[in-house]
Chain A
């Protein structure tokens, strides 16, 4: 079965078959990824690299379908809200876990503002 051409009428094997979707579902998908990770504090650069990452198939497909220009504009629109502040975590002094902040990448926060005013 899996080695034959995809059969659009086979309900269990959907490989390569376009499942009917509402128009703009790629766009919705792209907005959702951008917003979710912007809320986590991703910078513009990190967001774009997430879409360029072929192993993250969802975001990658959205970039292939919509093009880099559109994805960049989605990211910009999202960061207009979420780049105005960031969430900061304070561990209680009694804690014994490794602090999550210590695991964050060393990339300076808000790198995109480097040459800003």
Chain B
């Protein structure tokens, strides 16, 4: 194993290969506070990429109800449990959150899936701690998540008076997921045939099906369970990050990078995807006016999903603010409290950047804010609120403007029936 630097853990860690970092890295931010589980993202992916024979279990994009569900079922609980068995009570964070881009969440002092694998797995060729989900766990996305179960002992039939069955009388939220195009992909690290590779131009992780022999080592290793084995083709497959769109080679894109299908289809407008610049050690290069850099490294409202697994995932989430903090800290690391505090009390720049979500299908490479006058001052739930008429302008890869948003006071039009009533 090599030693590589993982900034999400604030330390070096073991990885089966040397660190190699792309020129730009595919990354995204999902604002979970707004996801309504409409599954438009899921279906956009399916209708584009996985609609053919054998497609039933291929959900490269999925949305699951937390804490009740997951796809495949129990994926996160199972890997967390395996790690805990390997390192009982040792999966902890130390240090404190800071503004240091090399360790913004302190240090993770527990074991990653690579380190736990090194410690426990035999033979040496098994490099990553993981497990293969059962067919039953893959079979039914979203089963029992939002809807009551059927009558005891009777399969495939809903209870006739379903309203009496248990529902979730407490908090829950929807977690939308795709492959994280990790900086240290576990799928890539585990593949004995080197069929999985990370593209040097955009960090997208692809699986070469002509090299794959269906050993399922990637399925076992990916802690997010985002590689899938298709029975009828006998090879594995995974999210391709809609690379023709990201490259700008999709006919619709006219040469300019476009966001992926699942991003563009998002009804809740929770998603923004981009390409970020990296330093030679895999940390993010400073790019102050890049919206993803701003959300992850300046405002720090967007956090990686289960950073403790160690793959340095490139999917970031603005955590749901109503969920118990202990749960969120386990899922997104120690940065949760700072992220929620800032998101609850957004400053002028954060409010402006939040306006960039889903205003265009083009990938935003830079934004600018032109400050305007104060248009509203008041309080909301005891907190002061100030809104300015700032204009936020988004620019594409070619440096040209994509769109701008401004704030306007509403125009009230007198309805026709009252037109002459004065």
Query: Do the beta carbons of B67 and A91 come within 8 Å of each other?
Result: no
Query: What range describes how many residues of B lie at the interface?
Result: 35 or more
Residues 69-90 of chain B, each 1 if its beta carbon lies under 8 Å from chain A, else 0:
0000110011000000000000
Known A2-B149, A19-B67, A96-B254; judge A58-B380 contact (CB<8 A). Answer: no
Most buried by A among B144, B320, B400, B405: B144
**Cα–Cα distance between A15 and B167 once the two chains are bound (Å):** 7
User: Shortest Cβ distance from A117 into chain B, in angstroms?
Assistant: 9
**Cα–Cα distance between A57 and B333 once the two chains are bound (Å):** 27
User: Shortest Cβ distance from B250 into chain A, in angstroms?
Assistant: 13
Query: Do the beta carbons of A56 and B406 come within 8 Å of each other?
Result: no
- In the complex, what residues of B have CB within 8 A of residue A88's CB? 405-408
**Cα–Cα distance between A19 and B330 once the two chains are bound (Å):** 15
**Cα–Cα distance between A115 and B415 once the two chains are bound (Å):** 8
User: Shortest Cβ distance from A92 into chain B, in angstroms?
Assistant: 4
Q: Which of B340-370 contact A (CB under 8 A)?
A: 354-355, 358-362
Give the segment of B169-177, B211-219, B309-317 that binds chain A.
B169-177
Query: Do the beta carbons of A6 and B269 come within 8 Å of each other?
Result: no
- In the complex, what residues of A have CB within 8 A of residue B407's CB? 85-88
- In the complex, what residues of A have CB within 8 A of residue B320's CB? 32
- Interface size, chain A (Cβ < 8 Å): 62
List A residues at the B interface (Cβ < 8 Å).
2-6, 11-22, 25-26, 28-29, 31-32, 35-37, 39-40, 50, 55-59, 61, 65, 77-78, 80-81, 83-92, 94-97, 100, 108-110, 113-116
Enumerate 16 A-B pairs (CB-CB under 8 Å) in ascending A order: A3-B152, A4-B152, A12-B77, A19-B67, A31-B322, A32-B320, A36-B34, A40-B34, A61-B172, A84-B410, A85-B410, A88-B406, A89-B404, A96-B254, A100-B359, A110-B410
Q: Which 9 A-B pairs have the closest CB atoms?
A: A16-B166, A28-B322, A92-B401, A29-B322, A25-B171, A57-B146, A12-B74, A15-B144, A36-B34
